[in-house]
Amino acid sequence: GENVEQHPSTLSVQEGDSAVIKCTYSDSASNYFPWYKQELGKRPQLIIDIRSNVGEKKDQRIAVTLNKTAKHFSLHITETQPEDSAVYFCAAPTGGGNKLTFGTGTQLKVEL
């Protein structure tokens, strides 16, 4: 079936290092790829998204890249800070574009 796979499930980096989280999707018709951040005990919030007509999008320290041929997209966080510690979810449309399917999440821990 249509799904979204996310790796790694946990990621630990030193403060100041970069972090990369990767997702793959199966529905070739998917055209929108958001990333949500969920801090401990809080609700998920959209941090960045990308549409299929561009290959990269940046917003300060975060960026998302998209490879439509390979059907994968990645979240890049540079100069990581302790407040970046959270669970990150990718998502992509499935079911003919009628619904959004989320990846299983990545627990990012930024260590001092």
Binding residues vs other proteins (CB under 8 A): 6, 9, 31-32, 34, 36, 42-46, 49, 51, 89, 93, 97-105
Nearer to other proteins, 63 or 102 (CB): 102
* Residue 9 token pair: 């499930």
* Residue 30 token pair: 């998917």
Largest CA distance in the chain: 44
Give the C-alpha separation, 13 to 33, whole Å: 24
Nearer to other proteins, 14 or 53 (CB): 53
Nearer to other proteins, 18 or 45 (CB): 45
* Least distance CB 97 / other proteins (angstroms): 6
Residues 6+ apart with CB under 8 A from 60: none
